[in-house]
Amino acid sequence: METYDLVAVATSPLDDSTRTLKPRSTWVGGVGVERLRSAFDAAALSLTVGAEEELMLVGPRSDRLVPVVGDALEAIGSDDRFHAEFRAAQIELVTRPCLSAADVGRELAFARIDLAEALGDRVRPVACGTHPTSHGVGPMTDGERYRAIATENPWAALHMLTCGLHVHVALADGDRALAVYNALRSYLPEFTALAANSPFHRSADSGSSSTRLHLNRSLSRHGVPPAFRDWNAYGEFVAWGRTGGSIPDPGYHWWDLRLHPGHGTIEIRACDAQTELADAVALVGLAQTLVAWLAGRYDRGETLAVHDSYRISESLWSAAREGVHGELLDLESGEREPVHGRVGRLLDELAPMAAELGTERELARVSLLARACGAERQREQVARVGIDRLVDWLSAQTLESARRYLLRSGIAAASPSP
C-alpha cells in the first residue's frame, strides 16, 4: 500500500513524537479518460523499471514485531527511499526508475544495508511475505487514509500484516500499455508461484506456500484484476468508484496487477517480499522482460490473448498453495502442467528479448527459482533448526543477501549519499 494525495502521520508507540511523511506521488486528478492515459502517452522512456519492497521490523533478540516505524524514519533522516506502511511494524523501501533490473538490485541492496545501519542494534529488518510466528499484527500506522481503509476492511485491520514486492515497468503509449496490462494478467500465476515466500503463519505451516495471498484477500479489490476493453471502460470504472466514495482513486485498486496512471507504469503486485535479494532482482528482471516481449508483439500487430479472470484465479490459487512444486492450469485447455515446465517454456520464449535487455542473468535465476523458491527454503530451515529460530535466519539473510549481491556486482557495501 502507498500513501497518496495526503500527508500521513506515523506515530511511534514508544514516545509522543510524530513525523509528517511527504506524499510519494500524486494520482492523476479527475477521472477523464485522457487524463488517466496521459501519463502513458507522454512517457519519454519505455521499459524503465523500479521496485518497492515491504519489510517487517522485529526486536534485536526476539522474533517479536516492534511498531517503531516512526523511530526508524527519524533515525534514517530525510531519505525518500524509505516510507511508512499500513502497519507500524513495517517499512517500505523504494527505488528510483532504473534502466535495468541490476540497477534496481543495487538500489535495494544499499537501501537494506543503510536501513540496518540506521537501526543499529535496536531493530532488525526482515524480508518475507508474512511473519512466521507472530500471533498479533500490532498497531496500524496513524493516518487518515489508513483509518479509512481499516473502517472499510475491519478484518484486515485486525488480522492482516503482509509484505510484498511490487515491480513497476514504464510503457509509453496508452493503447499499448492497456493491451500489455490485459495480457500480463495471464502470467500472475507464474509470478505467484516463483515468489511464494510465506509458508508459515502463527508458528505453523499454513499449508500454502504464499499465506500472504490468502491474507491479502481480506481486502476489497484484491486478486486478479479485470480486463478493460479500452480506456473508456477503465475511465468509467474509476469514475463509478469515485462517485460512490468507495474507490476514491486508482491507488485503491489493490489487485495483483494494476495500471498506475500516477507513474505511467504497469505495476505487478503478486509477489511476496523476497528474503534473498537476488530472488527479488530475478523477479524484477522477469517483469521487465515479459512486458517488453508483450509490447514487442503488440507493436508487430499480434493480437495478445486476454483470458477471463476466473480462469487466471483458478490457476493462481494452485500457484499460491503449492508454489513451484505444484502445477498451473493452461488457460486455454485447462490441462495441468508443472510450474518448472511452464516457466521453462516461458523463459525460452523470452530469451531473445532478455539478450536485448541484458536480463539473461536474472532469467537464469528465475530458472533456479522454478525449482526451489523462498517457501521451500523456509521449510527446509525449519526442518533443520525449528520454527523458533526462523526469524533469526530470515533477518540474517535479509542483510547478508544484500551484501552478497553487491559483492557479486563488484561493489563494496558502502552506500553513497542519497
Give kind and range of the element (H or E) at residue 10: strand 9-11
pLDDT in tens, 398-412: 999 999 999 998 886
- Amino acid identity of residue 95, one-letter, is T
pLDDT of residue 30: 52
- Up-side HSE of residue 276: CA atoms within 13 Å toward CB? 19
pLDDT in tens, 140-199: 888 778 888 888 888 888 888 999 999 999 999 999 999 999 999 999 999 999 999 999
Contacts of 84 (CB under 8 A, 6+ apart): 3, 8, 10, 21, 69, 70, 73, 90, 91, 92, 141, 143
Give kind and range of the element (H or E) at residue 296: helix 277-299
pLDDT of residue 259: 95
Question: Which residues is 124 bridged to in the sheet?
Answer: 58
Give kind and range of the element (H or E) at residue 55: strand 49-58
Residue 54, all three cell numbers:
515491504
Q: Average pLDDT for consecutive 10-residue bins of the chain (418 residues)?
A: 26 27 43 78 82 97 93 93 94 96 98 96 96 92 81 83 97 95 98 98 96 90 94 92 85 93 93 98 98 97 97 95 95 96 98 98 98 97 97 98 94 57
Mean pLDDT taken over the chain = 89
- Amino acid identity of residue 107, one-letter, is E
pLDDT of residue 9: 23
pLDDT in tens, 315-356: 999 999 999 999 999 999 999 999 999 999 999 999 999 999
DSSP collapsed to 3 states, 165-181: EEEEEECCCHHHHHHHH
pLDDT of residue 38: 82
pLDDT of residue 43: 66
Give kind and range of the element (H or E) at residue 371: none
The residue whose grid cell reads 526476539 is 62
Domain definitions of the chain by residue range: 9-408
Cα(111)–Cα(51) distance, rounded to whole angstroms? 12
pLDDT of residue 231: 93
Cα(303)–Cα(298) distance, rounded to whole angstroms? 7
Cα(199)–Cα(359) distance, rounded to whole angstroms? 29
pLDDT of residue 410: 84
Give the predicted TM-score (pTM) of the model: 0.91
DSSP 186: G
Calculate the dihedral angle through the C-alpha atoms of 398, 403, 408, 412, rounding to the nearest 10 degrees: 160
Q: How far is CA 37 from CA 2, 174, 259, 263, 296, in A?
A: 21, 5, 10, 11, 20
Contacts of 327 (CB under 8 A, 6+ apart): 318, 336, 337, 338, 339
pLDDT of residue 3: 29
The residue whose grid cell reads 528479448 is 353
- Amino acid identity of residue 273, one-letter, is A
- Amino acid identity of residue 240, one-letter, is W
Contacts of 16 (CB under 8 A, 6+ apart): none
Residue 306, all three cell numbers:
486476454
Q: Which CATH number fits domain 9-408: 3.40.50.300, 3.40.228.10, 3.40.640.10, 3.30.590.20?
A: 3.30.590.20
